[in-house]
Amino acid sequence: MTVSKTAADAARASRPLRREPVDPAGDDSMLQLGELSGLLGYSLKRAQLKVFEDFLRCVAPLQLTPAQFSVLLLLDKNPGRNQTEIAATLGILRPNFVAMLDALESRDLCARMRSTNDRRSHILVLTDKGRAVLARAKKLVANKHEARLIEVLGPANHAALLEMLAKLAQEF
């Protein structure tokens, strides 16, 4: 037998030959996830759904979705911007942002003002009510939602998780 090393051989050799985690196979009515539990995208999506669900619960008294909350946050931090700029920053397409703003404006949380410089664009502003709702939402999010996340993960892990997700969202 020769000593030829194929790519597969090399890969196998370089791997620390870890034992398969054989998912705990509890109940026989519980299916085996197999390599699904190692798929980052799979866990990512499931975690995202859970986190959004908790967000909605925590901020339910104010009737704000995560997307709406992010719009209010952005308007507060970036006064004087128009629809195109806000939408683009959030990864929302302009056509889809129209109905979103309609909903917020109909609740008197923000307003569109025609720009004097460029009469095509609408300058977006938070109303007083919008600022008040945002302030209350921030407290609910911090004290109920994020607090629970930090509790479950631990502060250090929470920070590390945030950093990794930001890296993925950027340079991937």
Residues that bind a second copy (CB under 8 A): 31-52, 54-55, 66, 70, 73-74, 76-78, 81, 85-86, 89, 91, 138, 141, 145-146, 148-149, 152-153, 157-158, 160-162, 164-169, 171-172
The CA distances from residue 45 to 13, 37, 41, 52, 151, in Å, are 32, 12, 6, 11, 21
Residue 41 or 155 having the CB closest to DNA: 41
CA dist 145 and 2 (Å) reads 61
- Shortest separation between residue 115's beta carbon and a second copy, angstroms: 16
- CA neighbor of 128 nearest in space, from 87, 76, 52: 76
One of 83, 109, 137, 141 touching DNA (CB under 7 A) = 83
Which of DNA, a second copy, none sits in contact with 122, Cβ below 5 to 8 A by type?
Answer: DNA
- Tokens representing residue 113 in the block: 């003002």
- With H, G, I as helix, E, B as strand and everything else as coil, classify residue 113: strand
Quote the least distance from Cβ 121 to DNA, whole Å. 3
Sign of CA dihedral 164, 66, 151, 147: positive
Q: Interface residues with DNA (CB under 7 A)?
A: 49, 65, 67, 82-84, 91-98, 101, 112, 117-122
